[in-house]
Amino acid sequence: MHFPIIKLETIDTPVSDFEINLPAEDHCLDTYTDYCGDLYSTEDRKAVINSDWLKRLFDGFATINTEDETITFLDKDTIRRNFREYLKELTHKLADEADKEELSGFMFRWAGVDFKDFPTLFYLDYVQTSFSFMEDSIYLAGQTYKIGNIFDAHA
């Protein structure tokens, strides 16, 4: 399965200075990919930035400005509240699966990896799963980042 690794850049980083390589020895990359590194083409990158799935992923946590290719994180209270609500929904979903005797250990473990079932990795200072990134987005509250290069990954 192919999925994107989205690099976030500081707002003052010129496009010419966008990161073009992934960290060579990153634990998250080693754990969740068997291959990664090819840059998305300009068209594929824009398609991700303009996608409905990316807007759904960040709904309640950040807003995406597709024209400026930026992402602005909401306030701490909103992020905290929405993350707690997501956890409640997720635990109910897992409990329902368990009640039907359909919950596996894999499903349980994976619930803490792919936030809203999106197998996306994010790279700010280091690479994180979508779940970890969204959990930590409280520390990015109110900040705006450029959406930098997007890398292809495979698991």
Other C-beta atoms lying within 10 Å of the C-beta of residue 145? 19
What is the structure's pLDDT at 1? 86
Name the nearest CA neighbour of 7 among 110, 137, 150, 130.
150
Residues 97-134, buried b or exposed e (16+ Cβ, 10 A)? eeeeeebeeeeeeebebbbbebbbbbbbeebbbbbbbb
Residues 6+ positions from 132 with CB-CB distance below 8 Å: 28
Residues 6+ positions from 155 with CB-CB distance below 8 Å: 1, 3, 32, 33, 34, 119
Q: What are phi and psi of 90, to 5 degrees?
A: -65, -45
pLDDT per position as a tens digit, 10-51: 999 999 999 999 998 899 999 999 999 899 999 999 999 999
pLDDT per position as a tens digit, 59-115: 999 999 999 999 999 999 999 999 999 999 999 999 999 999 999 999 999 999 999
Pairwise CA distance, residues 11 & 124, whole Å: 12
Its pTM stands at 0.94
- Sign of the CA dihedral with 129 first, then 135, 140, and 145 last: positive
Pairwise CA distance, residues 70 & 54, whole Å: 12
End-to-end CA gap in the chain: 6
Sorted by where each begins, the domain ranges of the chain are 2-154
